[in-house]
Structure 1
Amino acid sequence: MLGTYFYHEILRKTVISFGTLFNDIHIRHKDNNNKSISDMKVALAYGPMQKFLARLEQQPDLNRATQITLPRMSFEMTNISYDATRKSTITQTFKATDGSNLRKVFMPVPYNIGFELNILVKLNDDGLQIIEQILPFFQPSFNLSVDLVNVIGEKRDISVVLDNISFQDDYEGDFATRRALIYTLSFTAKTYLFGPVADTPEGLIKKVQLDYHTNMDRENKRRELRYVVTPKAVKDYDGDNTAVLTFNISATEVRFTVNDTTNFAVGDRIVIDSEVMQIKEKPDATTLVVKRGFDRTLKVEHLEQARVNKLTTADDNLIDIGDDFGFSETSSIFTDSLQFNPATRTDS
């Protein structure tokens, strides 16, 4: 609830990302022979336009080179508003991992952040150079990839939309008053705000059990079938290096030789590179006959000296969040009227 401290720095990251778009803009001046005589990077700072105008007007040394002060750009965040058009179910959550722990996160809330980019120049050509380096990238939007929540590695594309362009020529006053041409570009950044990220006791689901009943009668219902599914590893986790191939094998060969079959038995699952196989026969101490492409893995060629690893329950227990895995399925038939109690994990 309110009062739970969290701070993902999403607004700060959005402001920084927006400013980064315009921090490498240059203008060039040329002589009568069209030869470049200067290349200037346009200064960029966060702050309201009025502050920079006041500083410009109060500059006591009017004989200083104009380019020391102008051109320059300033930007600021002007408003934050909720975007109902991107609304998702407020109670919906999704799971994310920080690499070792599973985290539960509510769906983010869509908000629009308004920005103003002000371009202050003395020469109109300087302003046109800057504007022309910005406008082609907004049609009318430009996507920024922002790492919104570091703890779960949540990255999203933030759409920055160019809403409006206005122009102002401040040239009122006497002859000594400095001229300032001001281009104002209004943008909307469509970002997302996340709430607190909670640790969850839930980990990788290791077992799914389903009981089928004959009818919906709560008093006399009788279960008939139990279906149990557990995950199976499709890669070697414990690095047992059980054997190695002694020859190359094609993607279709089901009989091949290894240096030693002592630790293998009929029915075992083995993995070579990324292909899982099941042993069907073990004719002698160096030969295996297998079923290829087991657990829906791809049948591929394997080279001599490739490692042949045995997949066991130890590998199944080491399956990590985000890994691919297969399934082991069992079913049981019942004629009793017992029910499974999740609290005690027994039938009663």
Structure 2
Amino acid sequence: MGFELKGLKYDATRKLNKLQKTVRVKTSDSTIHNFNYSPVPYDVNFSLYSFTATAENGLQIIEQILPYFAPDYTVTINAIPELNIKRDVPIVLDEVQYEDTYDGEFNKRRAVIYTLEFTAKTYLYGPMAQSKVIRKSQSDIGTSTDAPLSREERIIVIPNPETANADDDFGFTTKISFFDDTKKYNPVTGEDE
């Protein structure tokens, strides 16, 4: 028996939103999370060949394979263990071909060849990236549309308790402040100017 990879083909019918992310906090450092964007769907075509000397041996091999495909067999792969991404991949049996080279005299070698054509409907993933876990959210709100835009209200949301890890059961503390000055928050310095 032998197999051969025949080709890859993009499958637009299974395309997902490319900005969708899968995120998981690192177990060794709860301040960092790993993430990966949506995978790209591809059909992988491959062939499985069965070479036997007799038709009976060839049929015994084929009858062990064909019952699993009606018309597909689905396997679960652990695509990215760090993100706990598991994906069901259907392997579709597209075609079975039979070839018997037995022609002529009895002393000639006979070869019975079964060719099974498959398509694996899989996904290809890009590189995994890391980012810090967001522990504080701040929003400055104002009613003026004239420049310079200044804050009138600030909403800050932080986890409660502040020492909570990403996998802990925690709530949030919301702090709302009102301002009459014309200052704006500078994200580079972290100060109101």
TM-score (norm 2): 0.81
- The answer to whether 1:184 aligns with 2:115 is yes
Percent identity, please.
42
Deviation at 1:226?
Answer: 1.8
Unaligned runs of 5+ in 2: none
Q: 1:123 to 1:323 in 2, by over 3 A?
A: farther
Query: In the alignment, what sits opposite 1:209?
Result: 138
Query: After the TM superposition, which residues 161-180 of structure 1 pair with which residues of structure 2 at under 5 Å, given as runs?
Result: 161-180=92-111
Deviation at 1:116?
Answer: 0.7
Deviation at 1:319?
Answer: 0.8
1:79–1:115 contact (8 Å) kept in structure 2: yes
Query: In the alignment, what sits opposite 1:317?
Result: 163
2:24–2:33 contact (8 Å) kept in structure 1: yes
More strand by share: 2
One-letter amino acid matched to 1:207: K
- The answer to whether 1:330 aligns with 2:166 is no
Q: Distance in 1 between matches of 2:80 and 2:48?
A: 26
Q: Distance in 1 between matches of 2:69 and 2:34?
A: 36
Q: Distance in 2 between matches of 1:98 and 1:143?
A: 30
> In the TM superposition, what whole-angstrom CA distance separates every residue of 1:106-162 from its partner, at most 9, and x where no partner exists?
432222211111223344344334333322322322221222334544332222111
Deviation at 1:93?
Answer: 4.8
RMSD across aligned C-alpha pairs, in angstroms?
A: 2.6
Q: Distance in 1 between matches of 2:67 and 2:20?
A: 38
Query: In the alignment, what sits opposite 1:9?
Result: none
**Which portions of structure 1, spanning 4 or more consecutive aligned residues, are displaced by more than 6 angstroms?**
none
Q: Distance in 2 between matches of 1:325 and 1:107?
A: 28
Query: After the TM superposition, which residues 264-283 of structure 1 pair with which residues of structure 2 at under 5 Å, given as runs?
Result: none
Q: Distance in 2 between matches of 1:135 and 1:215?
A: 71
> In the TM superposition, what whole-angstrom CA distance separates every residue of 1:162-191 from its partner, at most 9, and x where no partner exists?
111111112124212232322211001122
Larger Rg belongs to:
1
Query: In the alignment, what sits opposite 1:239?
Result: none
One-letter amino acid matched to 1:317: T
**Structure ranking higher on relative contact order (CA contacts 8 Å, 6+ apart):** 2
Q: Distance in 1 between matches of 2:168 and 2:101?
A: 62
Query: In the alignment, what sits opposite 1:75?
Result: 3
One-letter amino acid matched to 1:182: I
One-letter amino acid matched to 1:74: G
Deviation at 1:94?
Answer: 4.3
Q: Distance in 1 between matches of 2:172 and 2:128?
A: 31
One-letter amino acid matched to 1:206: R
Deviation at 1:228?
Answer: 1.6
- The answer to whether 1:158 aligns with 2:89 is yes
Q: Distance in 2 between matches of 1:218 and 1:109?
A: 44
2:35–2:83 contact (8 Å) kept in structure 1: no
Q: Distance in 1 between matches of 2:170 and 2:65?
A: 48
Q: 1:83 to 1:98 in 2, by over 3 A?
A: farther
Query: In the alignment, what sits opposite 1:339?
Result: 184
2:93–2:116 contact (8 Å) kept in structure 1: yes
TM-score (norm 1): 0.48
- The answer to whether 1:136 aligns with 2:58 is no
The DSSP-based 3-state class of the residue aligned with 1:133 is helix
Q: 1:107 to 1:131 in 2, by over 3 A?
A: same
Deviation at 1:98?
Answer: 4.6
Give the number of equivalent residue pairs: 190
1:222–1:335 contact (8 Å) kept in structure 2: no
Q: Distance in 2 between matches of 1:105 and 1:343?
A: 27
Q: Distance in 2 between matches of 1:325 and 1:125?
A: 66
1:96–1:103 contact (8 Å) kept in structure 2: yes
Q: 1:148 to 1:327 in 2, by over 3 A?
A: same
